[in-house]
Amino acid sequence: MTGYRLKQSFLAFTAFIGLTFGAGGTAIAWQATGQAGEQTVGASGNPLPRFVSMSASKANLRTGPGRQYPVAWVYLRRGLPLEIIDEHGAWRKVRDHEGTEGWMLVSLLYGRRTVMIRGKIRNLHHEPALNAPVAIIADPGVIGEIEQCEGLWCEVIIDGDSGWVERRHVWGVYATEEID
């Protein structure tokens, strides 16, 4: 499989995980910062870095910003959260939950915010408190849509059900980012 790296699938995931990027979306109070501690703005006018999700069910991650560059990964997972870290014309340099970086066409991304459960099986609660009743039990790698994030908690919708999870247990949202 020259040019492609197989990623291990999680429960209901396909053998290859799909990556795509987007911009815009939910109302967000951006507090993300760049490497030097300052927020930067990309050529699109949107902040860098920022999270998006994959809009396509299949997307190529390339080694450079153009179709002339070889495909490094093939992602097959609509809704996969990705972090945009750079922009070049219609191309976005993205990073996935494992730290893999590459370039994707902006049309494969969109601003609907999603998160991926990380680490181990997580309990999502009816309220943002550890002692609140459990609403959802989610396996690592499960993707949910962000409803809101405040303080240490994010409300996430998974298969139509809603629950609160500590933001440290998901990938796809910044530590101080407020989403409503």
Where do the domains of the chain lie, and which CATH numbers do they carry?
Answer: 1-32+40-112 (2.30.30.40), 115-179 (2.30.30.40)
Give the pLDDT of residue 32. 39
Residue 10's alpha-carbon distances to 22, 33, 58, 70, in angstroms, are: 23, 30, 17, 26
5-14, 85-94, 161-170: range with lowest mean pLDDT: 5-14
Tokens of 138: 């989610």
The DSSP secondary-structure symbol of 77 reads -
Question: How many other C-beta atoms are found inside a 10 Å radius of the C-beta of residue 98?
Answer: 9
Look up residue 39 and give its two tokens.
């927020």
Which residue type occupies 122?
A: R
Which pTM was predicted? 0.79
pLDDT digits (tens, 9 = 90+) for 52-109: 999 999 999 999 999 999 999 999 999 999 999 999 999 999 999 999 999 999 999 9
Q: How confident is the model at residue 6 (pLDDT cuts 50, 70, 90)?
A: very low
Distance of CA 179 to the CA centre of its chain: 14
Average pLDDT over all residues of the chain:
83
**pLDDT of 42 over the 80 cut:** yes
For residues 36 and 70, the model is more confident at: 70
Distance CA(177)–CA(180), nearest Å, equals 10
Place of tokens 């795509």: 20
CA 74 to centroid of chain Cα atoms: 16
Closest to 147 in 3D by CA, of 131, 132, 160, 130? 160
